[in-house]
Structure 1
Amino acid sequence: MGKLQIELLGASFSAQASEDDAYLAKLLSYYKEITESIKNSSDVKDPLKISILSGIALVDELYKEKQKSIFLSKSVPTEDDEKAERIAQSIIEKISGALE
C-alpha cells in the first residue's frame, strides 16, 4: 500500500492507495503538469475550477485513448461513440467559455 503527500492548488493532505509509492508519485507529477498547463493557458485562478478543468482534460485524454483501443479492435466506431465525442467536446467548450 502506497502513501502520498499531496500539496497542490493550495490544498495539503495525504492519501493512501493500493499502488506503490513510486507509481503514486508519477500520477501526482502528471496531474501537476496538467494543472500547470491549465493555469498557464487560461485566466482561471480559482483552484476548484482549475482542478475541475484538469479532471475534464484527463477524462478527455482517457476517453480518446479508449476510443483508439476500441477502434483498433473494431474497424468502425459506432454512432453512439461519435455522439459521445461530440457531447464531450461541447461540454469542454462550454465550460471553458463560461470560465473565461
Structure 2
Amino acid sequence: MGKLQIELLGASFSAQASEDDAYLAKLLSYYKEITESIKNSSGVKDPLKISILSGIALVDELYKEKQKSIFLSKSVPTEDDEKAERIAQSIIEKISGALE
C-alpha cells in the first residue's frame, strides 16, 4: 500500500492507495502539471475551480483514449477474429456445397 503527501492548490493532506509510492508520485506529478496548465491558460485563481477544471480535462483525456481503444479494437482484426472469419467462411462453403 502506497502513501502520498499531497500539497496542491493550497491544500495539504496524506492519502493511501493500493498502488506503490512511485506510481502514486507519478500520478500526483501529472495532476500537478494539469492544474498548472489550467491555472496558466485560464486565468482562474480559485483552487476549487482549478481542481474541477483539471478533473474535467483528465476525464476528457481518458474518454478520448477509451474511444480510440474501442475504435482500434474494432478496426484491427485480431487473430481470433480472423480465425472466426475463416471458420464461418468454411461453414458457408460447406452449406453452399450441400445445397447444390
Consecutive unaligned residues of structure 2, counting only runs of 5 or more, are none
Q: Structure 2-normalised TM-score?
A: 0.74
What is the count of residue pairs matched by the alignment?
100
Consecutive unaligned residues of structure 1, counting only runs of 5 or more, are none
- Shift, 1:4, TM fit: 0.2
- Shift, 1:73, TM fit: 1.2
CA distance in 2 between partners of 1:94 and 1:44 (Å): 68
Stretch moving more, 38-47 or 69-78: 69-78
Q: Structure 1-normalised TM-score?
A: 0.74
- Shift, 1:74, TM fit: 1.5
Rg larger in structure: 2
Please give the per-residue CA displacement for 1:64-95, whole angstroms capped at 9, x wherever unaligned: 00000000011499999999999999999999
Higher RCO (C-alpha under 8 Å, 6+ residues apart): 1
Pairwise CA RMSD of aligned residues?
Answer: 17.5
